[in-house]
């Protein structure tokens, strides 16, 4: 049974097509720097935004029209959504998906029943994965929506909640393992605080580290070899999220001896909320060897919250793919569209327009980034810019083989000989030229 009647498999038709249900840039088998586009991009569907997000906002109920949801039986509805999800992914040529435990299945009367329902839905997912060859990029836990998580999960002031959240992660790890997931994400949810007047920050951070160590231990126990990720975010829902940005997370992982077990999942809109560019967060991870995966979306410069929009900004896509290529490409990770249609885009077909827009933007971004790298545009400029560190006193600084006294002698003898222009505007114009083609 088809749910998206009248929509065929989305094909690559090239830049001159007038068909809005076609790709202009995403040609999955096209080779770019020795790898097919689909291997580079590893596009993934976010289950939550695509199947369960209804367009609710603080001022109004959901607006999304989803004809397949029209049943009172929540378990039947969840099973149908799995079928819808796989038809959607097949039609778009998406080879991966990501989910929270609570996206795929409704909660039962208690945790035991909830887990049993989850297993029932995972049976259907497993069958669909076998039928289509679509894979799980990562699984995760929703330990933030239910009122029991009002004070957080791993950082809750209440030990019962800590245990409950741990049990939920235990189960989510089991199903991720069963579905051969390539990774498992910890996004902070409500791991943060509103006021220090009632918060023991040290205790909460210690507990969060314990929570993560326990997850790593359990993964070993069950033989789950997927990659663990932390997804930084500075604020929302709490005023101050503990995983503020990539640098904060790195410091935390290092302090609590978790660096061997975790990489980062960088989300564009979280980067900008933290006052960074998307590229900055990716570059920081790349430089520190922890670039794992990407949640592709974009925010709105005029809004101070996580709008999770479909990424259509070509500059960001180019610069993000540039960082991914510099890092040597994805291994376990991929590009998960943690992005949703606007509330007024309420028809099922809007989901297609949205994913096509995001996939085409990143496909074009990949091609431009590859060309920039192949031509050495920025890398050659940077080589030249830092050339003074290749010989003489610069080489000694790089090798850690100098002293303040020697540097003083150098400064007294030579002063500062020549400082070159940074040529920012010229470089930005070259970037434009590569984008325009």
Catalytic residues: 100, 103
> How open is the CA angle 46-51-55, to the nearest 5 degrees?
100
Write the DSSP assignment of 235-256 as a string of letters: SSSSSEESS-SHHHHHHHHHHT
Q: Is 249 in the site for ligand XUL (CB under 6 A)?
A: no
Long-range contacts of 397-404 (CB under 8 A, 24+ apart): none
Least distance to ligand XUL, CB of residue 313, Å: 18
Selection from Co ion, ligand XUL, none that 193 binds (CB < 5 to 8 A by kind) is none
The total number of residues shown for the chain amounts to 437
Q: From residue 174 to residue 213, what is the string marking binding to ligand XUL with x (rule CB under 6 A)? A: -----------x-x--------------------------
Q: Is 306 in the site for ligand XUL (CB under 6 A)?
A: yes
Q: Is 295 in the site for Co ion (CB under 5 A)?
A: yes
φ/ψ of 108, rounded to 5, equals: -95, -165
Residue (162 or 184) nearer to ligand XUL, CB: 184
* Residues 310-339 contacting Co ion, CB under 5 A: 338
Q: Is 267 in the site for Co ion (CB under 5 A)?
A: yes
Least distance to ligand XUL, CB of residue 270, Å: 7
Selection from ligand XUL, Co ion, none that 40 binds (CB < 5 to 8 A by kind) is none
Tell me how far apart the alpha carbons of residues 262 and 184 are, in angstroms, rounded to a whole number: 10
Cβ–Cβ < 8 Å for 357, 297: no
Q: Is 308 in the site for Co ion (CB under 5 A)?
A: no
User: Of 191, 267, 316, 323, which lies in the binding site for ligand XUL, with binding defined by CB under 6 A?
Assistant: 267
Per rule CB under 6 A, count of chain residues that contact ligand XUL: 10
* Residues 208-227 contacting ligand XUL, CB under 6 A: none
Selection from ligand XUL, Co ion, none that 185 binds (CB < 5 to 8 A by kind) is ligand XUL
Selection from Co ion, ligand XUL, none that 140 binds (CB < 5 to 8 A by kind) is ligand XUL
- Return all residues near 372 (Cβ < 8 A) that are at least 6 apart: 318, 322, 378, 431, 434
Least distance to ligand XUL, CB of residue 69, Å: 20
Q: Is 103 in the site for Co ion (CB under 5 A)?
A: no
Write the DSSP assignment of 41-63 as a string of letters: H-EEEEHIIIII----BTTB---
Tell me how far apart the alpha carbons of residues 358 and 294 are, in angstroms, rounded to a whole number: 13
Cβ–Cβ < 8 Å for 24, 360: yes
> Helices 377-385 and 424-436: crossing angle, nearest 10°?
170
Selection from ligand XUL, Co ion, none that 233 binds (CB < 5 to 8 A by kind) is ligand XUL
Look up tokens 């741990």; give the residue: 166
Q: Is 140 in the site for ligand XUL (CB under 6 A)?
A: yes
Least distance to ligand XUL, CB of residue 433, Å: 34
Measuring CA to CA, which residue among 113, 127, 229 is closest to residue 178?
127
* 135: enclosing H helix or E strand: strand 135-140
Q: Is 295 in the site for ligand XUL (CB under 6 A)?
A: yes
Which residues make up the interface to ligand XUL (CB under 6 A)? 100, 140, 185, 187, 231, 233, 267, 295, 306, 338
Which residues make up the interface to Co ion (CB under 5 A)? 267, 295, 338
């Amino acid at each position: 049974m088809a749910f998206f009647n009248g929509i065929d498999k989305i094909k690559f038709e090239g830049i001159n097509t007038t068909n809005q249900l076609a790709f202009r840039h995403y040609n999955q088998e096209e080779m770019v720097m020795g790898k097919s586009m689909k291997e580079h991009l590893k596009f993934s569907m976010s289950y939550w935004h695509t199947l369960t997000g209804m367009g609710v906002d603080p001022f109004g109920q959901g607006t999304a029209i989803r004809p397949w949801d029209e049943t009172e039986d929540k378990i039947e509805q969840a099973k149908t959504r799995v079928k819808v999800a796989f038809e959607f992914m097949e039609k778009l040529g998406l080879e991966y998906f990501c989910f929270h435990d609570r996206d795929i299945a409704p909660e039962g009367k208690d945790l035991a029943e909830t887990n049993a329902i989850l297993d029932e839905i995972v049976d259907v997912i497993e069958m669909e994965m076998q039928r289509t060859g679509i894979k799980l990029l990562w699984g995760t836990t929703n330990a933030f929506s239910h009122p029991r998580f009002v004070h957080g999960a791993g950082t809750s002031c209440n030990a019962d909640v800590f245990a409950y959240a741990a049990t939920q992660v235990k189960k989510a790890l089991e199903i991720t393992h069963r579905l051969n997931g390539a990774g498992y994400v910890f996004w902070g949810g409500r791991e943060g605080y509103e006021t220090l007047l009632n918060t023991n920050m040290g205790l909460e951070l210690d507990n969060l580290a314990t929570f993560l160590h326990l997850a790593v231990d359990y993964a070993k126990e069950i033989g789950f070899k997927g990659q663990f990720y932390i997804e930084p975010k500075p604020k929302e829902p709490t005023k101050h999220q503990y995983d503020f940005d990539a640098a904060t997370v790195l410091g935390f992982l290092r302090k609590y001896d978790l660096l061997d077990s975790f990489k980062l999942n960088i989300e564009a809109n979280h980067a900008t909320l933290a006052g960074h560019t998307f590229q900055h967060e990716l570059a920081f991870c790349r430089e520190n060897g922890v670039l794992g995966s990407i949640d592709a979306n974009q925010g709105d410069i005029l809004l101070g919250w996580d709008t999770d929009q479909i990424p259509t900004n070509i500059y960001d896509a180019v610069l993000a793919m540039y960082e991914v290529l510099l890092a040597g490409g994805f291994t376990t990770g991929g590009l998960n569209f943690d992005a949703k249609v606007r509330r007024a885009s309420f028809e099922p077909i809007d989901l297609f327009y949205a994913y096509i827009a995001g996939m085409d933007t990143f496909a074009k971004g990949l091609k431009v980034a590859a060309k920039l790298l192949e031509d050495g545009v920025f890398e050659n400029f940077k080589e030249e810019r830092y050339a003074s560190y290749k010989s003489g006193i610069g080489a000694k600084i790089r090798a850690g083989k100098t002293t303040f006294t020697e540097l003083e002698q150098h400064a007294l003898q030579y002063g500062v000989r020549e400082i070159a222009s940074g040529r920012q505007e010229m470089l930005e114009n070259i970037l434009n030229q590569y984008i325009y083609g």
